[in-house]
A and B are shown apart, each in its own frame.
Chain A
Amino acid sequence: MNKNNYNDAQDDLHSFEAVIGLEVHSQLLTKTKMFCSCQNIFGKEPNSMVCPVCLGLPGALPVINLEGVRLAVKAALALNIGINKKSLFARKNYFYPDLPKGYQISQYLDPVSSNGYLAIETDGAEKRIRINRLHIEEDAGKLIHIGNESYVDLNRAGTPLIEIVSEPDISSPKEAVSYLKELRDILVYLDISDGNMEEGSFRCDANISVRRKGAQKLGTRAEIKNVNSFKFVEKAIDYEIDRQIDVILSGGNVIQETRLYDSKENVTRPMRGKEEAHDYRYFEEPDLPPLILDAEFISDIKKSITELPHAKRKRYIKEYSLTEKDSEVLTQDKNIAHYFEDIIRLNNGRVEIKKIANWVINDLLFALKAKEGNIPKQEDFFNLILEVENSNINKNAGKIVLTEMLLTGKKPNDIIKEKNLAQVSDEKGIEDTIKQVFKENQKELEDLIGGKDKLFGFFVGEVMKKTRGKANPQKVNEILKKHIENYKKGGN
């Protein structure tokens, strides 16, 4: 390839844009399955959480789980998607061993919710990703392959799912990930889903096509399945965009197909042709009446929706003057956000909120990630912050206390007493220690006075060592400086 061609190719590469739509399946945290009264729990012995209905036994009939409907409507309200007061269940027919009835009960022509949007942050600006629909359906069972044999576990069969289908408004892998994160945060926040991608309770398929910038017509799309982490979503879409551009630039045509992402090789590969050639023969589920939602049902759900992560983030920035980054970390997990807000209430203006945020992010979350242990009670953690901020102990000692708190659950004051960590601030004591250190390090002292300023830190360290970390470092600095100045001036 000569240089000119290469540049052309580069130009070409940048003359494309990606068009991405996402289909998200999220399990609902209901007590029972969507159409029967079996428990909706995981990790039980295969085929132990089953009944005639979810086994698809002859004669068994589905019954709508209103709790599932409630969670779906809650999700729709939180995602600004219109609620349809009348919706229909439909059968999606196909044969597969994990689908005991030979059809999945889903919603097709009239979903419970349609037309909405989700706002995401992209490059500091807000972008609205339109959502086409949100509907209720049931999950299939699981196949377990052992050697040459395959087994069917139907514990998952019939568990409730919502499918959320976006419009093709997403234009980069990054946007796709922020859409998914935002979506998951909301579902987890509202206790609609546990949002666990690895375990498959939050799953994503991506429809991807590329076109020349400015073109009106959409390119042929490929559907990517089997992506089970945010990182892989980003990589898979990235790969697929490049692949499609390559196909077009080398004169080929993208074909409409379903592709699977292989995370080990970081490639997408076409699924075997046969599996995607489905005609699902959708039709209205004759075993279920239309789902009619009255205004009271909807307004009751509306009342149960609490502050969403996006709004929380904005409030933290505005009300607490936190950075965007810190706000995001604090709001990612609802439990952390609630913990943080509890401490702010305890604080009642005493300590600067920014400092509290730092304590939570840099000390508490960091320590929890690094070490074993349980999150301390809000009161205890706040008392620790107070001890440090009031200079009763220094920051280093604070860290020691925190580690101990996580491990033992003891109160900070007890730990401080036990470990004798109260800070030494009396000048006389510090002065005596400094004199002692000078005596033991004559040569270094001479060098320092002679102009080797770097050695100042060495002396601070020695003093701290002698006080076993308890000295108030600020005081040490102050007094040490005073003494050195005196020496320089030719004093004692």
Chain B
Amino acid sequence: MDLSNLTIHQINDLLKYREVKSADITNSYIERIKKIDPVISAYLYTDFEEALSNAEAADKIIQKNKDFPYLTGIPLSIKDIFLIKGKKTTCASKILNNFISPYDATVIKRLKKNNYVFIGKTNMDEFAMGSSTENSAYKITKNPFDLNRVPGGSSGGSAASVSADLCAGSFGTDTGGSVRQPASLCGVVGLKPTYGLISRYGIIAFSSSLDQAGVIANDVLDAAIMLKAVAGFDEKDQTTRKFEIKDYPEIVKRADKSIIKGLRVGIPVEFFSEGLDSKIHSKIMEIKDLLKDLGAQVVNITLPDTKYSVAAYYVIATSEASSNLERYDGIRFGGRFNEGKGIQSLDELYRKSRESGFGKEVKRRIILGTFALSAGYYDAYYKKASLVRKLIIKNYKDSFNDVDIILGPTSPTPAFLIGEKISDPLSMYLSDIYTISVNLAYLPALSLPAGVVDNPTKKGGVLPIGLQLISPWTTEAKLLSVAKVIEDEVKFRDKYTPVI
């Protein structure tokens, strides 16, 4: 039995019935990482010693106690944006090259309570800014379906690590699509929950009003398990709320075709206009027809103001980022330029440290955001963008009066070639055109593998594509259930595997 090709719930079953130990599972992932990750580069760093000691601890708990949490003994990878006590956290930036976190993020605290196995930190775009993971200061992560292509971003390392079976699941973050888009490009499930459902405490901030932790998983049930383990109010994050946390795994397990009957599914016309790959278009239409066949009422809807979402997003996200990244100034964090030698003034210290510590895209966004917040421009940019955000929220609210769930593509194209878009930021920004408005509206959304398209640069090769489901505020249970039914029909995992 290949122990590294399993879902979390499959591993859980094996652990429960004492067929394997977490140490066996963990070892098989370690072996695979050693063999495969030099090619994929999903991880920034791994900690096998820690992984094995976590696994041993989990095995002890399993022996003692029949009723252990789902994630007990499950090896997970963590995007290098989550702080873990005593561990390096770089956010894939040179400026945090030497930063060892003195505390645990709330997500990590909860995972530890669930006895998870920490296996390593995954690569990402620097400070989560990007859609291809090419903006990492350290390495280029490859798409497991085609090593010449990007895994998407910014949680590209996480998506690749799950897709290539280098862990059982991964935690990422989604500010404008950073969990869903790479999940889509790598053929795995990516869930971005309602803003405020998962604590942001201990997650390095990119854009505070948009950032939300998300999960990348092999299947929908795994996503439900991972969400349940970390969701819920945190007194350390005042933007979390006391939402009711449902038993998502149980709800997903019970979900069957019958829940589609009478389900009102909205197809936003704006998500199927120019820019969308025609093969993706037809694939999503197949899913639409499938839902119709299962008894859903499918209607076209319009989200007229989402056409401004990329513009509004890049004003709000960069503005907040320009402020959030001010602390990396060479005084306390990151490379103080030349260790301060030869620096003549405080200003020079700031300038040189930030100039050498930040990458190109991060600098571009800091400058954009600084400009947008400047006196005299605030009204024209930040304030206007905030108004657009309100309109987009209203668009969704109005739509959800008529439909229960919205179906569309996750990304306008399948995985693109490494280097293809890196010098054209605008076309890179458009990779998130269907995901961004969801963050602006604080909504939950999920990317699910919908099938594959032919790989145009590799004969016989395929590239995964993802569908996106968007549902009203705090309706993760419904979102996951609908996804589960589609998943059972599409059977992606049974049909397609990465080239690795």
Contacts and interface: CB of A to CB of B under 8 A. Distances in A.
Interface in B186-211: 200-205, 207-209
Interface in A49-95: 52, 55-64, 91, 93, 95
B333 A58 contact: yes
B190 to A, nearest CB: 22
A286 B350 contact: no
A376 interface: no
Contacts of B89: 58
- State the majority secondary structure of interface residues on B: loop
Interface in B77-122: 82-83, 89, 91, 96, 99, 101-103, 105
A63 B99 CA distance: 24
A59 B202 contact: yes
Contact of B323 (A55, A93, A97): A93
Interface string A268-296: 00000010000101110011110000000
Contacts of B235: 63
A344 to B, nearest CB: 48
B239 A60 contact: no
A103 interface: yes
A97 B102 CA distance: 21
B204 A289 contact: no
Contacts of B375: 279, 281
A101 interface: yes
B370 interface: yes
Nearest to B326: A102
Interface in A16-68: 52, 55-64
B205 A58 contact: yes
Contact of B237 (A56, A61, A95, A281): A61
B420 to A, nearest CB: 31
B346 A97 contact: yes
A152 interface: yes
A325 B482 CA distance: 80
B319 interface: yes
B323 A58 contact: no
Contacts of A116: none
A274 B345 CA distance: 12
A100 interface: yes
A279 B372 CA distance: 12
B219 interface: no
B350 A281 contact: no
B341 interface: no
B326 A95 contact: yes
A283 B331 contact: no
B374 A281 contact: yes
A286 B374 contact: no
B323 A91 contact: yes
Contacts of A57: 83, 101-103
B376 to A, nearest CB: 9
A100 B323 CA distance: 12
Contact of A52 (B103, B205, B373): B103
Contacts of B99: 58
A97 B374 CA distance: 22
B360 interface: no
Given A279-B375, A281-B370, A286 B209 contact: yes
B332 interface: yes
A286 B320 contact: yes
- State the majority secondary structure of interface residues on A: loop
A260 B325 CA distance: 31
A286 B331 contact: no
Contacts of A279: 374-375
Contacts of A283: 319-320, 323, 373, 378, 382
Contacts of B208: 286-287
A283 B200 CA distance: 20
A50 B373 CA distance: 30
A161 to B, nearest CB: 20
Contacts of B63: none
B331 A152 contact: yes
Contacts of B237: 61, 63, 287
B91 A101 contact: no
Nearest to B369: A281
A72 to B, nearest CB: 17
Contacts of B102: 52, 57
A60 B323 contact: no
B329 interface: yes
A287 B204 CA distance: 13
A289 B239 contact: yes
Contacts of A95: 326, 329, 350
Interface hub of B102, B201, B370 (most chain A Cβ within 10 A): B201
Nearest to B209: A286
B452 to A, nearest CB: 37
Interface string B212-237: 00000000000000000000000111
B239 A59 contact: no
A101 B238 contact: no
B327 interface: yes
A289 B238 contact: yes
Q: Which 10 A-B pairs have the closest CB atoms?
A: A102-B326, A286-B208, A281-B373, A286-B209, A59-B202, A58-B204, A59-B83, A97-B331, A102-B327, A56-B327
Given A59-B204, A100-B327, 20 more contacts: A57-B101, A58-B83, A58-B89, A58-B205, A58-B333, A59-B101, A61-B236, A61-B239, A63-B237, A95-B326, A100-B332, A152-B331, A279-B375, A281-B323, A281-B374, A281-B375, A283-B319, A283-B378, A283-B382, A289-B239
29 contacts: A52-B103, A55-B332, A56-B327, A57-B83, A57-B103, A58-B99, A58-B101, A58-B205, A59-B82, A59-B83, A59-B200, A93-B323, A93-B373, A101-B327, A102-B327, A102-B329, A152-B332, A279-B374, A281-B373, A281-B375, A282-B373, A283-B319, A283-B373, A286-B208, A287-B205, A287-B237, A287-B238, A289-B238, A289-B239
